[in-house]
Chains A and B, each alone.
Chain A
Amino acid sequence: MTQKGTYSSKSRLIVIVLVAILLIVIGAFALIIWQGSKPPHSSTTENNAADTQAIAAIPLDSHVLVSMSAGEVIFVPGDMTVFIPAGAVDRAGKVILTRREADLLSEVGEPGWRRPYVVNIEYQDANGNAITDQVIKKPIEVCFILDNELWGKYLDGVPFQVEVYDEAKDPPVWAPLPFYAYQNHYQICGTTMHFSLFALAVKDVVVTEPTPTNAPGLYNP
């Protein structure tokens, strides 16, 4: 009886230890996956606000959703996505999203509006040459994903618009696009028939994003 009891307690201990090890290993792996899925911070290899890029190949027969997060469909506050429907373009190429400086070219925009997110969308051929004469056959959807602060403003009724930098006008202007929102994804979107410079414009909202040159830093003390 005593020996049986000892075996039983030993077996129980083994099971407990093995389960504990299994849980710790699973926990460790989960932690690594969780942390590893976050983009690491890097001042030297991370692109700054002026040149963050997302690139995606655009086939002719299927739609593509390009996100600013490494070209993948990841919904990150403050990020943006571009939906290009199948058949929108008649030449295969690649679309390049390039983040530009906040309030870029604001002097040509309507006064009282700020542009915290400005993105250049360019269409290139296989050799990297810009395709400027591309006729877009179906509307392309440009969406900006708002962070909590901006989304709160939107819900509070602060006017927002998605704008395109219309170079056809003389002088060029920031022109608003047909506008709608995806509430579930905190997205504000516009549709366009051009690849150009786009901005999320917010009326009377103070932009918190630092401008590239005035903030203290290594080369701008």
Chain B
Amino acid sequence: MRKILNILSSGPILAGAAFILYIQTLAPGVWGFDSAELATGVFTWGIVHPPGYPLYLIIGKIFAFLVPIKDLAYRLNLMSAFFAAITVYLVYLVIQQVTGKRLAAWVGAGFFAVSNQFWQMAIVAEVYTLHTFFLALNLLLVLHWHKTGHWRFIYAFAFSFGLSLANHTTGLLFAPGFLLLILSTSTTFLSNWRKWLLASFFFLLGLIPYIYLPLRTLANPELDYVKAYYGIDLTTLKGIFWMVSGQAYRFFAFGYPLSEVFNEGVRFIGLLWRNYFGIGVLLGVIGFTWKWSKKWKLNIGLLLIFLGNTIFFINYRVLDKDTMFLPAYLVWAIWAGEGISYLSAGLVSIMKDYPFRLVTEKIVLVSMVLAVILGASMNYRWLDMSRNFGKQGVALEVLETASPNSTIIAQWSSAVMLEYYQTVEGLRTDLKIINRSRVDVALYYKYWSQGWKPEEILRLISQNDLQMVYAEIKHRTVYVIEYDPLFLSGFEYLPQGNYYKLSLLDKIEPAP
């Protein structure tokens, strides 16, 4: 019985179970939002939206080559599941390292594995499970350094941290936390300049994937977001800095007035609460506060990582920010694991004079394992995307029925999907796809950089969009996928199934 329990509570079994769960619920094909753009980026060795995600594009290409299953979009969905499963295993190891308890590690990592935000990112092509993979790996390496004092863990960490930035630059927000965790072990790190230099060398080595950006921009790939919309030269250091620091989206950072920040903070707590079914949040609070004096260095380090992520993204005014809190959720899983560990230890302590103490402890832990399984079954119906084709249907309908050589104007999610089908599948290359979101954000950036006020910028963008349609409709049939009242001022919407054909009203064009 003990042997079976040991096997079942092992990290690989948990990661394997999570992988099967993700495969079962994996999106069947190309998905909207950034997924389709990333897939097109992988296919074309292209330049996608800032900060560029060069490591993701390189690994995606390799993974898609090595795993010849179905189409490219499916393979990249599978890659997310793969890195998610490894992340779960690494989180398990981290919690085991911190608590010394396998079942606590299983439960903490298990809650993380079935949490809705992480699960959602594990079943579509996205950069986030690679991001959490690196965070968990880096935490594990630092904890090994903490435990052993072996420099090889610092070198490995430096290399891995560099690589993580080449996937997602916001990993830089974790730097203060990692620095504290490293220095809290030994301050000789700074005085030993030779080893420090070697660590720096490994860090720079990890940044090498960034060479992808200038190399590929020189090759003029079919998809080059930056050159096409911003005119930025990625062969210069200035251009690369512009890209990796996300200058194009700078106006989103700290984009809320103070009055709204509180609400955004509350919203984040709500997301965290739902993510861990409430119970994981309570366990995390226990794990964070209990025996504070014994592990305050570790907790402060983790807290800095947690806050680095949450403070930045709570203040980041974007639509898909909920997915960007995954690092904070991962840190919370460690605290939840600690909470379980303390509760079970407390129980043993209360029951120390009684013969059933170990059995009682096991009952509690097995109940928590069942709680994770219950959580998975509750979330399954919300997160199963195996039969969810999203906007694929509309995109294929457009590609099938739109008039030859017409123009399709679409918002981001639909537009990137159409681009995917055109570029990757070679469908309807006669159509001109205008990604209105890309055009509008680039314009916003342009006017914002020139110091225009937001309301003025929005007016100019609306004017630009109208003129764009007027210019297109003179020569081509114009379709729009999303209804927008803006166009009612000059055009009539003629329903074409799930999208619209625009027809010019008998009005005078606005002056340019």
Contact = CB atoms under 8 A, between A and B. Distances in A.
A115 to B, nearest CB: 12
Given A21-B360, A31-B278, A219 B374 contact: no
Interface string A16-41: 01100100010011011111111111
B356 A14 contact: yes
Contacts, number: 148
A32 B374 contact: yes
B195 interface: no
B444 A41 contact: no
Interface stretch (B13-21, B157-165, B319-327): B319-327
Given A42-B117, A45-B385, A32 B252 contact: no
A217 interface: yes
Contacts of A28: 279, 367-368, 371
Contact of B482 (A37, A43, A213): A213
Contact of B378 (A21, A36, A100, A217): A36
A44 B33 contact: yes
A14 B271 contact: no
Contacts of B351: 14, 17
Contacts of A29: 370-371, 374
A105 B274 contact: no
Interface string A165-198: 0000000000000000000000000000000000
A219 B441 contact: yes
A158 interface: no
Given A41-B274, A221-B444, A213 B391 contact: no
Interface SS majority for chain B:
helix
B252 A221 contact: yes
Nearest to B376: A36
Contact of A40 (B319, B320, B382, B437): B382
B126 A40 contact: no
B441 A221 contact: yes
A103 interface: yes
A127 interface: no
Q: Is the interface of A mostly helix, strand, loop or mixed?
A: loop
Nearest to A216: B317
A37 B378 contact: yes
B357 to A, nearest CB: 10
Interface of B: 31-35, 116-117, 120-121, 124, 126, 251-252, 271, 273-275, 277-279, 317-323, 347, 350-351, 353-354, 356, 360, 363-364, 367-368, 370-371, 374-375, 377-379, 381-383, 385, 388, 390-391, 394, 411-412, 437-438, 440-441, 444, 454, 457-458, 482-486, 488, 493, 498
Given A36-B374, A44-B320, 17 more contacts: A17-B347, A17-B351, A29-B371, A31-B278, A32-B378, A36-B378, A39-B382, A40-B116, A44-B31, A103-B485, A217-B317, A217-B319, A218-B252, A218-B441, A221-B317, A221-B440, A221-B441
